[in-house]
Structure 1
Amino acid sequence: MERHDALFIGGGWAEPQGDDHITVVSASTEEVIGRVPEASEADVDAAVAAARGAFDDPGGWPDWEPARRADAMERLADALDRRKDRIARLVSAQNGMPVAIAEQLEGVFPSVVLRYYADLVRTAALEERRPGLMGGTTLVRRRPAGVVAAIVPWNYPQTLASFKIAPALAAGCTMVVKPSPETVLDAYALAEAVMEAELPPGVLNIVPGGREVGRYMITHPRIDKVAFTGSTAAGREIAETCGRLLRPVTLELGGKSAAIVLDDADLGATMENIFGATLLNNGQTCYLGTRVLAPRSRYAEVVEAFSAFAGSLQVGDALDAATQIGPMASARQRDRVESYIGKGRSEGARVTVGGGRPSGLDKGWFVEPTVFADVDNAFTIAQEEIFGPVLSVIPYGDVDEAVAIANDTDYGLGGSVWTSDHERGVQVACRVHTGTIGINGYLPDPTAPFGGVKASGIGRELGPEGLAAYQQNQSVYL
């Protein structure tokens, strides 16, 4: 069991000011695998004060030359690389992510994002002079937003933390990061990497905790900006709070994306990519295309192909390299997924594969990969985010109807189009009202803005746009 007794505040290990702890349980075995302190409001105060000092003190982090900050970020990337295998296994043990996926994403992607923003900030213009229309010139300055409260979810704890940490550090912000109570052990590996990289004390602080700790952080009077990834329900509450406080906020929220299979799609050639776009990380991924839209002319074929593929996936312990589908992150999440499977059945959808718990796995929060056929887009399972390995195959007549169904949702985060005609796929993709969409695959890239429309969020992460989210503009009229 991995046990920690301190919090990472002010560049080192700080004794917690409360007595509460977070007990970490393996999603695969239901065994206790860790214990860490749960931050109190007093601990949050200390972390914010440390971040505030690192930001406000003359000569502090925001006053460093961008190249010097970039050097520190690259040291942090190197330190994370040295811990990538440990981080991947910790994440898998906690949230059930198959370790083969964790090694590719949680172990590697954070350092890639850090290096991208380190390179970007070396060349990004922080000032520009614009000729005015009133007889003068304006100096436009891009300054760091300040102290950032970053709240990270459990499904991709290190990857989604890097979406916030990398651009914020590049911009010159300092941070208080709150990992989810389901995934706190990997946060200690991050803290060790920060210490090894010799980031100045207070630049990045970590306070594990639940919703109450998050609420306190968001409303803290010395916080300048909030960055949150999580559910739409929680995002609405945070948006209301930040709106009242006039506090900038970036929200990356839920999704119910469509995977549009066109009538010329070669399913056999693209099924491996379809897995990454529809079932990655046990279906616990916000952008997945869990609504599979199939032409009526090929509906039975598409249902059969997805059912056969889902049924062939290896379900098992997340730490087994052969596992393709691991457990849900918690018993509560498994209950949620199972309740939606029940709703699908009650509304008249037909289960073609899965629909229960896998045999032979008596421990762990497992759900079989499940495919529903005969789904109407108005069904609950087609409108609400399930966050599990459950796909709904919905028929359509022509492309116009497919686009209309894809857009008939409260969400707009991801999506995909599957076709043998690339240009046709692009044309269809551009008609879908969503923040991101892929052609014959889906994989976010650090260079491109990631985020949603409608109930899927506000603002963008990644790309130059992600850096701009942590900057404030100042105009100096000359």
Structure 2
Amino acid sequence: MTFTPPELRTWIDGTPEASDLELDDALHDPNTGTVLQGNRASSPAQVERALAGAWSAHSAGTWRDLGLAGRAALLHRFADLVDEQQTTIAELDSLNSGVTLRETTLFASSLAGTVRGAIALAERRGESAELAADQGPVRLRRVPWGPTALIAPWNAPAAVAVKKMAYALLAGAPVVLKPSPASPWSAQLLAAAAAEAGLPSGVFALVLGGGEVGQQICADPRVKAISMTGSTATGRLIAQASAPNLTRLRLELGSNNPAIVLADADLAATVEDLAAGMTKLNGQWCEAPRRVLADRAVYADLVAGLAERLRRTRVGSALDADTEVGPMAFRQRRDDLEAQRAHLVAAGASAAHRTDVPGGGWFLAPTVVSSSGPVDLPGEVFGPMIAVEPFTTVEDALVRSNAGPHGLAGYVFAGDVERAIAVGGHLEAGEVKVNGTSLLDMCADSAQSFFGDSGLGGHGDADVLEFYAGKQIVGVDLVDAPM
């Protein structure tokens, strides 16, 4: 693939401009470690102009007063333009994240559908509704909170950014998007599509940078809502920065998601499902299984099966069609995982993995860590590594599963599906899957809250749409009310 990285520009009022600041951390090809581009950030003055534009658009009603039909028409155009760029978006996201091109292509091909699905949902829900009242008209209206900050992660850059953009914009909120400084490329294509689609001045801005830019955005009182996907540490910083303004927050953070394997589980299928779940997106997805608690009757066989399956996993360049697990997104991510693995081994656990991974890039062999007692994971494991420990009673497994960081997802494997669902109901997690580890929602009406320390809010399409706007009642007051 011939690759020319896009210029890292800041977009304000539909116009791109040079990002003023140079960052120390260059952007590398994670497959080889080769420097591809110097990194850049928006200056404080540029961020201020982006925020001022969003506030002006909100105050003037530029976007809100178009109505849902007017906003939807422009977003249909945005979806068409993004669809035309799906091949390039997939390539950019693969090089930024290390996720295989096969997987980023699936994400990129679904972006337009995400926008169109959001439009359809918004149209079914409507912007207002007449409520039953005897004294005269009473109307429920959905009113956007105001300028909204969208902070996207590095592991699925375009997919997360597009979903946040679609739902916030449909709700009538002007948005300021900040991608991760580790994965800023595909956001350039999204900004260009938003400009070409004709979004009014101030309705969309793209700013670049790390924590300093995030701090400036999140602490600004003109920002009325923040939707962020990322680490728990970053989520806490956002909560602290925005607390004085009582900004509305939706934070999807980290979780060492547990998987409970009961004695009657189909072990061969469980091995395949766990291996698939822990290596999907190179293990770099927030709901991947991280901790397995297996009934003692099947513990040894499960560990052996996982070790053998992971040794057969094809590790290689994210751009190769036959690769199952690509490199980590950046060197520090690989180094942190290696340090976590070493910590667990030093604490007495065993680690099984292949040793012939490619050199030069940020590769980590998929690893199963096992111990005859509880495994104390040193923080969230965000990569292709999974820990397995035995349990004697289901009650004990649930207590250990519900110890943090937790709350996003959980898994139960069993032959008796009804028992598995009953066990899963005791996990403190917003989504619990039985006998599978897919990345997708289980049904069209799926919804989940972020439990424990995994965040604030939740997801499920209807809930996401609801986050970006408040409810207002306008109507004729009661006649002769007793109070």
Going from structure 1 to structure 2, the CA distance change for 1:375 and 1:109 (only over 3 Å counts) comes to farther
| 1-structure distance, mates of 2:53, 2:301 | 59
Going from structure 1 to structure 2, the CA distance change for 1:369 and 1:197 (only over 3 Å counts) comes to same
2:390 equivalent among 395, 412, 434: 395
Name 1:433's counterpart in structure 2.
428
Name 2:473's counterpart in structure 1.
475
Answer whether contact 1:48 1:176 (CA < 8 A) is retained.
yes
SS in 2 for 1:118: helix
Name 1:89's counterpart in structure 2.
91
Answer whether contact 2:271 2:302 (CA < 8 A) is retained.
no
Name 2:170's counterpart in structure 1.
170
Answer whether contact 1:12 1:201 (CA < 8 A) is retained.
no
Code of the aligned partner of 1:324: E
Q: TM-score, normalised by structure 2?
A: 0.91
| 2-structure distance, mates of 1:15, 1:345 | 47
| 2-structure distance, mates of 1:16, 1:145 | 28
Name 1:369's counterpart in structure 2.
366
Is 1:149 equivalent to 2:149 in the alignment?
A: yes
| 2-structure distance, mates of 1:423, 1:193 | 47
Name 1:218's counterpart in structure 2.
218
Code of the aligned partner of 1:81: D
CA deviations on 1:207-241 (whole Å, 9 max, x unpaired) are 11111111111112321111111111121121122
1:444 equivalent among 437, 440, 444: 440
Code of the aligned partner of 1:104: L
Q: TM-score, normalised by structure 1?
A: 0.92
Going from structure 1 to structure 2, the CA distance change for 1:391 and 1:36 (only over 3 Å counts) comes to closer
Name 1:461's counterpart in structure 2.
459
CA deviations on 1:171-193 (whole Å, 9 max, x unpaired) are 01111001111101111121222
Name 1:115's counterpart in structure 2.
116
| 2-structure distance, mates of 1:116, 1:452 | 23
SS in 2 for 1:454: coil
SS in 1 for 2:458: coil
Answer whether contact 2:191 2:206 (CA < 8 A) is retained.
yes
Alpha-carbon offset, residue 18 of structure 1: 4.6
Alpha-carbon offset, residue 23 of structure 1: 3.2
- Aligned pairs for 1:39-188 within 5 A: 39-58=42-61, 60-105=62-107, 107-130=108-131, 138-188=138-188
Alpha-carbon offset, residue 242 of structure 1: 2.0
CA deviations on 1:33-85 (whole Å, 9 max, x unpaired) are 23454101111111112222332324x21112212322222222222221111
CA deviations on 1:94-133 (whole Å, 9 max, x unpaired) are 221111111112x134323212210011121332344579
Answer whether contact 1:353 1:369 (CA < 8 A) is retained.
yes
Answer whether contact 2:278 2:383 (CA < 8 A) is retained.
no
| 1-structure distance, mates of 2:356, 2:104 | 25
SS in 2 for 1:279: helix
Name 2:480's counterpart in structure 1.
none
| 1-structure distance, mates of 2:54, 2:273 | 42
Answer whether contact 2:404 2:452 (CA < 8 A) is retained.
no
Code of the aligned partner of 1:411: H
Going from structure 1 to structure 2, the CA distance change for 1:221 and 1:406 (only over 3 Å counts) comes to same
Alpha-carbon offset, residue 449 of structure 1: 2.9
CA deviations on 1:110-159 (whole Å, 9 max, x unpaired) are 323212210011121332344579x7875332111111111111111112
SS in 1 for 2:453: helix
Going from structure 1 to structure 2, the CA distance change for 1:50 and 1:21 (only over 3 Å counts) comes to farther
| 1-structure distance, mates of 2:325, 2:23 | 33
| 2-structure distance, mates of 1:287, 1:437 | 10
CA deviations on 1:264-313 (whole Å, 9 max, x unpaired) are 22233355443443221111111111101211111111111111111111
Answer whether contact 2:23 2:38 (CA < 8 A) is retained.
no
Alpha-carbon offset, residue 447 of structure 1: 4.6
Answer whether contact 1:98 1:319 (CA < 8 A) is retained.
yes
| 2-structure distance, mates of 1:191, 1:375 | 51
Going from structure 1 to structure 2, the CA distance change for 1:329 and 1:429 (only over 3 Å counts) comes to same
Q: Which has the higher mean CA deviation after the structures are superposed, 420-429 or 432-441? A: 420-429
| 1-structure distance, mates of 2:215, 2:156 | 21
Code of the aligned partner of 2:173: C
The percentage of aligned residue pairs carrying the same residue is 33
Q: Which has the higher mean CA deviation after the structures are superposed, 39-48 or 403-412? A: 403-412
Name 2:412's counterpart in structure 1.
417
SS in 2 for 1:187: helix
How many residues matched? 470
Going from structure 1 to structure 2, the CA distance change for 1:353 and 1:31 (only over 3 Å counts) comes to closer
